[in-house]
A and B are shown apart, each in its own frame.
Chain A
Amino acid sequence: MERLPRGRHGLPREFVAQNQRERLLAALAECLEEKGYERTTVASIGKRAGVSKSDFYKQFESKDACFVAAYDDAVERIRASVKEACAERKDWGSGVLDALDALLRLFESEPAQAQLVLVEGLRAGRGVYDRYQVAIQSFVPYLRDGAPAPAGGERPPEATDEAVVGGIASLLARRVLAGEVKKMRGLLPDIAEFALTPYLGTAEARRIISA
């Protein structure tokens, strides 16, 4: 994110504050990706964002608070892209496929965000874990709504919806940890089949994915 010009630029105060906030959130994610939570300091976040320490504390009361804000912000952006993909869907199966594609594209283009949401959220400990849980659960309805039953069978139990979302998150986290975030889009056929098969059966899932 661009720094604003120094000195008198006549930009409204709220605009400056908002810009600083966004820069700090992006800087935090980058610091985390580079050196992990423990070694990320308020000073290093500020330095990367080009924001003074006192301006940092005007936005956030602590590193933890900045982390939580960055986390919520990242999840919100992911949700927006998944929601958009789902809104345009012709049918349930291709909607899930498009949403997963959008998700992988987003992570691949913003590895620091992938690390933040998928890895740090689980590892940051007690308080943040609740946010991770809420975030993961918030994706369940996109899969659940309109989910069909496979031909001649019953709709899978509700735990399946949650296990599918949790399982995808777990796989993606492992790939981020393995340093393979740049190859995430290659996982689309795999995770799409994993997500669609319980509801459509293997043959129909594969038909949609290869279409």
Chain B
Amino acid sequence: MPSRAQARSGEKRDSVPVRPALPREFIAGHKRRRIMDAIAELTAEQGYDATKIGDIVRRAGVARKTLYDNFEGKEEVFLAAFDTAVDEAMGQIEADCAEVDGEWEERIQAGLASFLRYVAENPALARMCMIEALSATPAATERYEAAMQRFVDLVKRTVPQDEQTPETIEETLVGGVAWIVNQQIRRDEAAQAEDLLPELSDFMLAPFHGAAEAAKKRANA
């Protein structure tokens, strides 16, 4: 039986913890993630303005202090969640594109499928990033634009270019896809986003091949 002094100092403890202790960073990261998930859910449900810090900590099941240890405030939580979601989606899309050992059309389709899958699997994050971010705060609007640009650049790297192809074609294509998905989310049908794949594939391939060839490609796939 260790003395009280020994137990306090922790030099000689023979009691076994009920659960193995998780590393501090893991817990911190986990709580951070819960906070970000909470703001995504809450903004999806009630909008950014109506979401208060109190709602976020309650939903995340963390202390208010934990939130403020990790973030300066609501806007920073929102922006962190936005960045995390975009990085995550982008990472998956790039990986799925890279896996395709074929023509550029297949890479576009794989990337589009990957994007739609992310939306379907993460409806709250998708709504937060594609709808709420537009009106949340000026900084969020800027992040939205920057994220759009990342998608534009990815398409640009993937499609064949000839001199006559309009320079802005990737911007209009990404904008068009975003618009269709945006409306899908607004109808509360984000979970069915993958249904859009055939039509959006046609749309994205058309400028490069002509619509007829795009449809043929899909039929053969």
Q: B-contacting residues of A (Cβ < 8 Å)?
A: 36, 122-126, 129, 133, 136, 149-154, 156-160, 162-171, 174, 177, 187, 189-191, 193-194, 197-199, 201-202, 206
Q: For the complex, would chain B's binding face be called helix, strand, loop or mixed by DSSP majority?
A: helix
Q: For the complex, would chain A's binding face be called helix, strand, loop or mixed by DSSP majority?
A: helix
Determine whether the beta carbon of B215 is less than 8 Å from that of A167.
Answer: no
Q: A-contacting residues of B (Cβ < 8 Å)?
A: 47, 49, 131, 134-135, 138, 141, 145, 148, 164, 166-169, 171-180, 182-183, 186, 196, 198-200, 202-203, 206-207, 209-213, 215
A-B contact count (CB 8 A): 138
Determine whether the beta carbon of B210 is less than 8 Å from that of A171.
Answer: no
Please give, as numbers and ranges, the residues of chain B lying within 8 Å of A129 by CB-CB distance. Answer: 131, 134-135
Task: Tell me whether A156 and B211 are in contact in the complex, defined as CB-CB below 8 angstroms, given that A122-B135, A133-B186, A167-B175 are known contacts.
Answer: yes
**6 pairs of residues in contact across A and B, judged by CB atoms under 8 Å:** A150-B210, A156-B206, A160-B199, A167-B173, A194-B168, A197-B206
Please give, as numbers and ranges, the residues of chain B lying within 8 Å of A187 by CB-CB distance. Answer: 168
Determine whether the beta carbon of A201 is less than 8 Å from that of B172.
Answer: no
Q: How far is the CA of A158 from the CA of B177 in the complex (A)?
A: 13
Chain A: minimal CB distance from B117 (Å): 18
Q: Which of B141, B179, B183, B198 has the most CB of A within 10 A?
A: B179
Determine whether the beta carbon of A170 is less than 8 Å from that of B171.
Answer: yes
Q: How far is the CA of A150 from the CA of B206 in the complex (A)?
A: 10
